[in-house]
């Protein structure tokens, strides 16, 4: 059964309205107050139906995780028995093992934290490396993983119908394959050697890019350095143009100028994270997952 109510925070009211309209359910905004000492006070509706969903995309996640703790625990006391988290972007999924002694494995810790609060999780393109399913990271009874790649492919087919899709690194291969298969795009994947958060080397794939409209496609972009380096290499190899399509527009403040300086023409993203580049809406797919 679908939830009867979608709870959300004020800064995500627009996305909540789109999801609720597509799913045919009501919405309610969680009131949020910050005390002078930085602590939060939340206020939910006085009574809740047994089945509810809570929308919170987890970009800039640290304070939002506290919000989820307060909101979910309170919802249980107000009548909710089945809680579904809608996290279009799911944070802390990258660190899935300790690479050096003493490192916190954040995926395991945050995944267990969310599993203690919710009965189901719906997300889009979680950044998973060495595990096969979201349920291994967030052990709840039901997980739904959606992808922005097919919808981005539809947009690319309209804007760049003869595009060559290229992934900026090996990890992007799964999303490149989804998008390419949907419209029969040519595809290839770069090889990346990372030396730090903002220092990477890119090796182009062994395909001809001369005269091609190339679209770099990936699940997320944060600093923009990997995409910028790939774009510069592609244009140096005589690509006709380079655009970028990503599910999660995590872009840091200097990422946009970095991409423009590298010669990127357009940037398209889904609305999993609100950003000026948003060109694809995930609400219909999320609403369908709620049914």
Angle at the Cα of 223 from the Cα atoms of 220 and 226, rounded to 5 degrees: 75
Cα-Cα-Cα-Cα torsion 152, 155, 157, 160, nearest 10 degrees, comes to: -100
Q: How far apart are CA 191 and CA 5, in angstroms?
A: 45
Residue linked to tokens 């009867």: 4
What's phi and psi for 137, nearest 5 deg?
-85, -40
Query: Dmax over Cα atoms in the chain, in whole Å?
Result: 62
Q: How far apart are CA 134 and CA 173, in angstroms?
A: 18
CB atoms within 10 A of CB 127: 19
CA distances from 196 to 12, 203, 245, 255, 259 (A): 32, 16, 23, 16, 18
Is 41 one of the catalytic residues? no
Which residue of the set 8, 192, 225, 275 is catalytic? 192
Q: Which residues are known to be catalytic?
A: 192
């Amino acid at each position: 059964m679908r939830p009867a109510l979608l709870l959300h925070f004020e800064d995500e009211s627009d996305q909540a309205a789109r999801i609720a309209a597509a799913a045919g359910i009501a919405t309610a905004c969680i009131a949020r107050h910050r005390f002078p000492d930085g602590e939060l006070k939340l206020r939910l509706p006085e009574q809740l139906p047994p089945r509810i969903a809570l929308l919170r995309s987890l970009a800039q996640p640290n304070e939002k995780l506290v919000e989820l703790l307060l909101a979910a625990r309170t919802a249980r006391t107000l009548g909710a028995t089945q809680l579904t988290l809608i996290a279009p972007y799911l944070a802390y999924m990258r660190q899935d093992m300790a690479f050096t002694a003493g490192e916190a494995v954040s995926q395991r810790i945050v995944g267990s934290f969310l599993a203690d609060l919710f009965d189901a999780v719906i997300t889009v393109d979680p950044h998973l490396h060495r595990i096969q399913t979201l349920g291994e990271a967030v052990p709840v009874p039901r997980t739904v993983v959606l992808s922005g790649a097919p919808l981005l492919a539809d947009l690319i087919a309209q804007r760049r119908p003869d595009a060559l899709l290229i992934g900026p690194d090996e990890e992007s291969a799964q999303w490149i394959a989804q998008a390419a298969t949907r419209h029969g795009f040519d595809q290839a994947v770069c090889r990346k050697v990372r030396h730090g958060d903002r220092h990477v080397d890119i090796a182009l794939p062994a395909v001809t890019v001369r005269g091609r409209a190339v679209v770099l496609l990936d699940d997320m972009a944060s600093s923009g350095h990997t995409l910028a380096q790939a774009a510069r290499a592609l244009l140096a190899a005589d690509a006709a143009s380079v655009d970028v399509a990503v599910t999660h527009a995590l872009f840091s403040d200097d990422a946009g100028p970095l991409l423009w300086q590298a010669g990127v023409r357009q940037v398209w993203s889904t609305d999993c994270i609100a950003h000026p580049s948003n060109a694809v809406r995930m609400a219909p797919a999320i609403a369908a997952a709620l049914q």
